[in-house]
Every structure is written in structure tokens, then in C-alpha cells.
């Protein structure tokens, strides 16, 4: 468990806020690249001081210990992806989708001030291509953008494939460091569209390459679950070749 402090906060696109954390504790952070994620513990919404005396692991026992903490001092817990880590500077960037005051994470990010503290518990990576992968299929919405951006950055430079990233606004597209053989498709959705629906339609209608694919699907719950089902049942992709995770529910 590492306690870090806010160094700066900025709006990077209309929908995305970036908070940069720092501090000596980050010298112990072990970067794994790709979609490395962590449990983020945010200050409690009370006048009492938040307690970061947290379990070393969030397994069943650790989660029960977390829930047993006094509510007034118990930090909110959310899962987030490393957007960028700079070991020499001991700086870690986290991108938050701006939901206004709808959730503790976006609410905290919007109000973050220099010196505010949070705690992090590293959870490793989900991205795990199978042996014999010919090409990669990466699909997500704005909540999955940091994970897909990290994967694109750390893929071998001779990797091939397609990344489909659904975003609320054309201006939410960000520079990404993708291999030359991986085509990145930005998909601005209509306001009337359910989150994830455009990405699902686009991938299903796309002329996907032949060969063994490894798929990484993240975002609003319906996006990864529906695309996984389609890949497995309609395209014959082995279940072991698909990593999927629902990050939120619309």
C-alpha cells in the first residue's frame, strides 16, 4: 500500500481529467506497463481524517476488513489504470472520466488540490496475449482508454491489429503511441447512443483480419460482454483468447 500526494490536476480533453501523483512512496511502485491497474483509495467525505491503515490485499478477508473500518474514516475504493509512470520523477498519472458529482472518483478528481493524499494498491495487469497470437483486437470506451493507450504503448513494435476506442466527443481523442501495424479507430458517439453501442456495431461490421486473434475488451458492461459473446459464438474465437472486463454500468 502506497500513500501518494497530488502534484497537479488538469483537464486534458472535454471528458477526461488527469491527476498526477507523486511522493517518495512511489519509489517502491513497480511498473509493469500495458494496462497495469490498482485499487485507488480516496479520502472519506467527512471532517474526520481518512485512515489509510488498509489491508495489504483486497481478497475476501481483506475486503471484509476494509468494510469493517469506521465509515467516517474509511476511504472510498475504486479501480484505476496507470496512464503514465515516470520512475525518475516518481510521478504517476491517472485519467478520470468527468462524471460531475455522480461518483466519488470523478468528484475527487474535479476538486483535487496540490498536497491532497490518496493510497494505491497495485493489482498488476489483465492483458495476457495467448501463444501464437497473429493480431490484436483492442476495444473500449472512454473508461478503457487509459488501458488501451498503455497496451498500444508497450506492444512490440512489429505487432499488428486494430484498436477501437469509443469516445463521447471528437475532441476526446488523445495522442497514442501505437505500433505502425496497429490501426487506431476513434469512434465519437451520438448523444442518443447508449455507451458502448457504437463500438459494438463498428467491430461487428468491420472486415477483421484472418488468423489467431487476442482480444482485449473493456468499458461499459454491455460492451465487453456482448463483444466477447459475438467473438466466441459467431467468429469462433477461443474463450482463452479474450480478456474482458466491465468497468461501469450505464
In our burial notation (b when 16+ CB lie closer than 10 A, e otherwise), range 219-241 reads bbebbbbbbbeebeeeeebeeeb
Q: Nearest CA to 91 among 16, 38, 153, 23?
A: 23
pTM of the prediction? 0.94
Q: What is the arithmetic mean of pLDDT over 162-185? A: 98
Domain boundary residue among 124, 148, 166?
Answer: 124
Place of cell 479474450: 242
| 114 shares its domain with 148 | no
Check pLDDT > 70 for residue 100.
no
Look at residue 57 in the predicted model and tell me its pLDDT: 83
**140 and 40 in one domain?**
no
Mean pLDDT of all residues in 246-250: 93
For the chain, how many structural domains are there in total?
2
Query: 79 and 143, same structural domain?
Result: no
Query: In this predicted model, what pLDDT tens digit does every residue of 34-72 receive, in sequence order?
Result: 999 999 999 886 555 677 888 888 888 989 998 999 888
Provide mean pLDDT across the span 207-230: 98
Q: Give the residue from 64, 99, 124 where a domain finishes.
A: 124
Contact call for residues 38 and 116 (beta carbons, < 8 A): no
Q: What is the CATH number for 45?
A: 2.40.30.10
Among 101, 124, 147, residue at a domain's last position: 124
Q: What is the C-alpha to C-alpha distance for residues 90 and 80, in angstroms, rounded to an integer?
A: 18
**CA dihedral for 125, 159, 173, 4, sign (positive or negative):** positive
Q: Residue 43 has which C-alpha cell?
A: 479520502
The 8-class DSSP code of residue 142 comes to G
Element spanning 43, H or E? none
Q: Whole domain around residue 80: which residue ranges?
A: 2-124
**Cα dist from 165 to 59, 77, 113, 213, whole Å:** 31, 26, 30, 18
Residue 192 has pLDDT above 90, yes or no: no
pLDDT attached to residue 126 = 98
Q: Does residue 72 sit in the same domain as residue 169?
A: no
User: Which pLDDT score, from 0 to 100, does residue 103 have?
Assistant: 84
pLDDT of residue 48: 57
3-class DSSP state of 161: strand
Specify whether 90 is located in the same domain as 160.
no
Residue 9 has pLDDT above 80, yes or no: yes
Mean per-residue pLDDT over the chain, rounded: 94
Amino acid at each position: 500500500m502506497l500513500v501518494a500526494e497530488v502534484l497537479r490536476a488538469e483537464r486534458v480533453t472535454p471528458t477526461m481529467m488527469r491527476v498526477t501523483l507523486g511522493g517518495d512512496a512511489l519509489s517502491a511502485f513497480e511498473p509493469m506497463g500495458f494496462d497495469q491497474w490498482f485499487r485507488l483509495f480516496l479520502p472519506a467525505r467527512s471532517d474526520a481524517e481518512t485512515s489509510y491503515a488498509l489491508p495489504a490485499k483486497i481478497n475476501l478477508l481483506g475486503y471484509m476488513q476494509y468494510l469493517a473500518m469506521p465509515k467516517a474514516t474509511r476511504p472510498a475504493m475504486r479501480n484505476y489504470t496507470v496512464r503514465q509512470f515516470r520512475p525518475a520523477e516518481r510521478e504517476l498519472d491517472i485519467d478520470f472520466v468527468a462524471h460531475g458529482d455522480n461518483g466519488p472518483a470523478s468528484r475527487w478528481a474535479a476538486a483535487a488540490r496540490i498536497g491532497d493524499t490518496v493510497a494505491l494498491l497495485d493489482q498488476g495487469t489483465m492483458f495476457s496475449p495467448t501463444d501464437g497470437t497473429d493480431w490484436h483486437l483492442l476495444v473500449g470506451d472512454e473508461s478503457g482508454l487509459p488501458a488501451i493507450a498503455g497496451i498500444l504503448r508497450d506492444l512490440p513494435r512489429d505487432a499488428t491489429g486494430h484498436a477501437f476506442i469509443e469516445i463521447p466527443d471528437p475532441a476526446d481523442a488523445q495522442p497514442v503511441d501505437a505500433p505502425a501495424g496497429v490501426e487506431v479507430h476513434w469512434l465519437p458517439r451520438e448523444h442518443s447512443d447508449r455507451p458502448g453501442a457504437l463500438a459494438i456495431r463498428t467491430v461487428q461490421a468491420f472486415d477483421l483480419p484472418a488468423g489467431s486473434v487476442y482480444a482485449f475488451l473493456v468499458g461499459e458492461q454491455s460492451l465487453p460482454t456482448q463483444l466477447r459473446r459475438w467473438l466466441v459464438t459467431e467468429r469462433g474465437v477461443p474463450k482463452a483468447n479474450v480478456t474482458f472486463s466491465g468497468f461501469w454500468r450505464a
